[in-house]
Chain A
């Protein structure tokens, strides 16, 4: 969910990142006071409509929910068993809405805008922590999650070709080695591009 920014010209894209962050926190908290499943279903529907108004393709909405499917299913089944069907639906819709709203933030906000918000939020603590370094760490996280995902996929494919696709060690060791090597090279690249300048 981290680097899925979809460039579009929409009112949600134009909203300041800080405002979107605060709204997400407020709505994410308020959602716990929604009294019943009917209202919660309405809130979920509004979240879906926000995707459309932000000109985000519906496929993206599906992509956001797909990785959470099993977790949502477990929550639903557990709540059904413990509290009944209606409450299970209510809780599942609540989590679905939270995922959709958080995704909406990442899909409509550039990472530099999000990092600027983090920098601003950390501003009062700059006596104790290097805000620049913390924001760089966030940037690198945003950047390297997809890269690490592709490294893992490459290694998995290579091991599959050797008939080792079910061997966890055969997957983990090359991924860890490549990750460490990448980390060294990225550190050098950051240095070469003058972050650690004086």
Chain B
């Protein structure tokens, strides 16, 4: 369970998120809103990349500000641009990177790495240089680097923005099969089909919260008015 309690976030005195209180327990949660509406800040609060100016965010009872390291073991984060998420020059090294922090025995690390490559049928990428991968392959590697950590929750911040239609479909198929709780920030409303709940942010406030159909309808209406 993710809980926001009276959360405010301000940058240089400017409010980015205001008075946010809610609990998130659904398996598939979409987050939408215009650019600058506060949705990315919201997603970053979930794994402690951003701390609230006031209020608190907890994940499974852990405070994201006080227990940042423990929270990040539970919450994986996939960024919009995989180029900035992939840290190592070789695919296998990058997948192994997060595991080092878990202080697992070498055998278990190797087993997990082998398993993840087998599961996603990407063993052929194992020795490839990361900068030579296609955009779709990079985003899959970024996702695998998160999945190999076996988090309980995965936050995806506009993961399909840089992908073509084929790779977008492939990534979403992969995401749809994941057993973890998913929070996905997106501008692509089609991706929210089958989601349990959608949050819409507007001017730093939670403007709508409900089923995908209702929230998307409200989003389209407000977008047409402006």
Contacts and interface: CB of A to CB of B under 8 A. Distances in A.
| A and B found bound together | yes
Interface of A: 2-3, 5, 7, 110-112, 136, 139-140, 142-143, 146-147, 150, 182, 185-186, 188-198
Contacts of A191: 49, 72
A112 B87 contact: no
Nearest to B93: A112
Nearest to A181: B84
Interface of B: 44, 47, 49, 69, 72-73, 76-77, 79, 81, 83-90, 93, 96-98, 101-102, 127, 129-131, 145-146, 149
A193 B90 contact: no
A-B pairs with lowest CB-CB distance, top 10:
A197-B69, A194-B101, A185-B84, A7-B127, A146-B131, A192-B77, A3-B89, A198-B69, A189-B85, A112-B93
6 contacts: A5-B89, A112-B90, A182-B84, A186-B85, A189-B79, A192-B79
A149 to B, nearest CB: 9
A190 B69 contact: no
B81 A185 contact: yes
Nearest to A196: B69
B96 A194 contact: no
A147 B131 contact: yes
B88 A185 contact: no
A82 B85 CA distance: 51
